[in-house]
Structure formats: C-alpha cells, structure tokens
Amino acid sequence: MRILLILILLLPGCSGSINTPVSYFNVETPRPFGYVIGDEIPQRIIIETRSGISLQASSLPAKGQINRWLNLNQVTIKQSGQRYQIDLRYQVFYAPPTVKALTLPGFTVQFNQGENKPEEKMLSQSIPAWSFTLSPLRELVVRQTEQGEYLRPDSPPQLLENTQAWYGLSASLTVTVLTAAYLSFLYGFFPKLLRRTLFKQALRKLAGLSKTDMEQVLSIVHYALNTLNGQPLFYNQLSDFYQRNPQYRQISAKLEWFFNYSNRYFFSAGMITVTPDLQQIKDLCEQCRKIERGSL
C-alpha cells in the first residue's frame, strides 16, 4: 500500500513533464535603448523541443505591418534536430518628440505532438513582449547661434574600397600602351627610330670580331647600310643613296672602298684578310655612327 501511494503521488509530476513540449527556451535581444526612426531590431528565439514535438511554423507572426509604427521585415527558421532558431527582424517607424518607451508585442508559438486528435496535440510556448526606448532624430528645442540654427555636421561616409578600380585602370593603360606600340610598329614608326641606332648596334657586334671573322664583319655592315637604305644597297646604287641620305656623301670614298673590298672578298678566290682591313671597316662604321648621331 505504501508503494502504491508513492506511485499515485508521483503521477501528476510525471504527467506535467510529459506534456511540457519545450526542454530549452531562450529569447536573445539587443540593447534596449538608442534606437531612432527607421532602425531595425533583431530578435532571436532558441527553442529545443522533446522528441516527437515539432514547431508549427504557421504560428509565428507573418511578415508585414504589425501596427502603425512597427513592421516585421524578416522571419527565418533554422532547424537542427529538435533545436529551432527563429530570427525575427523588426523595423520601427515611430518619430517621437522625446525619448519614448515602446514594446515589441509578444506572441505564442504552437507545436504539433504525434498523431493524436487535433484538440489534444496542440501545445504552445509564450514569447514575452520586449520593451525598448526610441529617441528623436533631432532635439525638440533647436539650439540657436548668432548666425542662425545650430546644426551638427553629418558623419563622414565610409570610403569605398578602390583597389579593384586601380587594377582596372592599370590594366587599361597597359593595353592602351601596348596597342599604340603595335600600331606604331605596323605603320613603320619604330624603324625610323631604329635608324638612329643602326651603326651603334653594328659597332657593338664588331667589337668582339677579328680578321678571321671577316665574312661576319662584312655582313654586319651590309645589314646596317641595307636597313638605312630601306632595301639592299649595291655599289652602283650609291648615287641614289646619297640623294636620299646626303649626309653620307662626305664619306663616299670610304663607302666605295668598302663595297669594292666586299666584292673582292665574296667573289674573288684566294683573297687574304689582314688586320688593317678590319680596322678600316671599323673606322667606316665609326664615321657612320657619328653621322647618324649628327656629330659629323
């Protein structure tokens, strides 16, 4: 009898525990002060239910206008097992003349339990109302100065990140320069510039050659003269060359010697090259370099 009496006394407590749908409940709210018209206020509700209990999403407040000064802009539900995270985002549109206390309205969340009869399976959890203070955008009594109304300056805007803009500008400038260089090359602008350094390059190539490299020496000087002339230059074309490049007429004797020497070297058998011949060719190239620089 004593054991039966203890079991009877424990039954109401067990029954209440079973009918409690929520094992954990918490409402997370931000600071309750410092809001002005147009501000958004987030609210997070954490609910953990017993096994077999599920949240009824339709019991949550619907997005839209709550009252004349309050809107519900966002309702988000994240579920992980029996844990529900409900994020609400309110927005206030009240313009108080002074600091005013307002309240986010409470509501009731409902749950489904098993497959019992409809009138038996509906369980609920109350979400309490939450109070906060709203401040006016400007003072009720505006301060005055001798020059007129006193206004505080606007806070400076946050500067936008411009790294990508600089990258885009740099890339555009690079493409523009490369395009201009390519067009200049196609229209023959660069060859005109290279003509000012033809014999400079030739002298650099001749510096390391000896009389045993006479074929290469002659080819280097011929290449420079051909490039300057715009086409292959031969001995019988020197008069036309002087008409197009009159500044080279002053070394005509050395140019004529060079072409005669080249003809003998390439078309005569058994010609012996000596060091003075190499030096004379280098002297000719030096004279041409001075002419292209404008110093002769």
Same domain, 127 and 213: no
Residue 175 counted as domain residue = no
Summarize pLDDT for 69-126 with one digit per residue, the tens. Answer: 999 999 999 999 999 999 999 999 998 888 899 999 999 999 988 665 455 556 889 9
Lowest mean pLDDT among 15-19, 68-72, 199-203, 219-223: 15-19
Same-domain status, 194 and 267: yes
Residue 179 has pLDDT above 90, yes or no: no
Q: What is the DSSP string of 71-101?
A: EEEEEEEEEETTEEEEEEEEEE----SS-EE
Per-residue pLDDT tens over the stretch 46-76: 999 998 899 999 999 999 999 999 999 999 9
Domain assignment present for residue 149? The answer is no
What is the count of structural domains for the chain? 2
Which structural domain, as residue segments, surrounds residue 268? 189-293
CATH number at residue 79: 2.60.40
Helix (H, G, I), strand (E, B) or coil at 67: strand
* pLDDT for res 182: 67
- Decide if 149 contacts 142 (C-beta within 8 A): yes
Whether 118 is in a domain gets the answer yes
Q: Tokens at residue 131, please?
A: 């109070």
Q: What is the pLDDT of residue 15?
A: 43
Q: Residue 14's pLDDT is what? A: 47
Q: Are residues 28 and 128 in the same domain?
A: yes
Answer yes or no: do 129 and 195 share one domain. Answer: no
* In-domain check, residue 156: no
Asked if 123 and 207 sit in the same domain, the reply is no
Return the pLDDT at 115: 60
The answer to whether residue 112 is domain-embedded is: yes
Task: Indicate whether 28 belongs to any domain.
Answer: yes
- Same-domain check for residues 281 and 212: yes
Which residue do the tokens 């500067």 mark?
159
What pTM value is reported for the model? 0.43
Select from 68, 99, 134 the last residue of a domain: 134
Q: What is the pLDDT of residue 97?
A: 86
Residue 154: which pLDDT band, with cuts at 50, 70 and 90? confident
Q: Locate tokens 């404008």: which residue?
A: 294
Say if residue 12's pLDDT is above 80: no
| 128 shares its domain with 200 | no
> Is residue 162 assigned to a domain?
no
Which one is predicted more confidently, 80 or 192? 80
pLDDT band at 219 (very low <50, low <70, confident <90, very high): very high
**Average pLDDT over the chain, rounded to an integer:** 83
Does the pLDDT of residue 175 top 60, yes or no?
Answer: yes
Residue 211 in domain: yes
Q: Name the residue among 25, 29, 28 with its Cα closest to residue 47.
A: 25
Same domain, 119 and 200: no
Please report which confidence band the pLDDT of residue 8 belongs to, taking 50, 70 and 90 as the band edges. Answer: very low
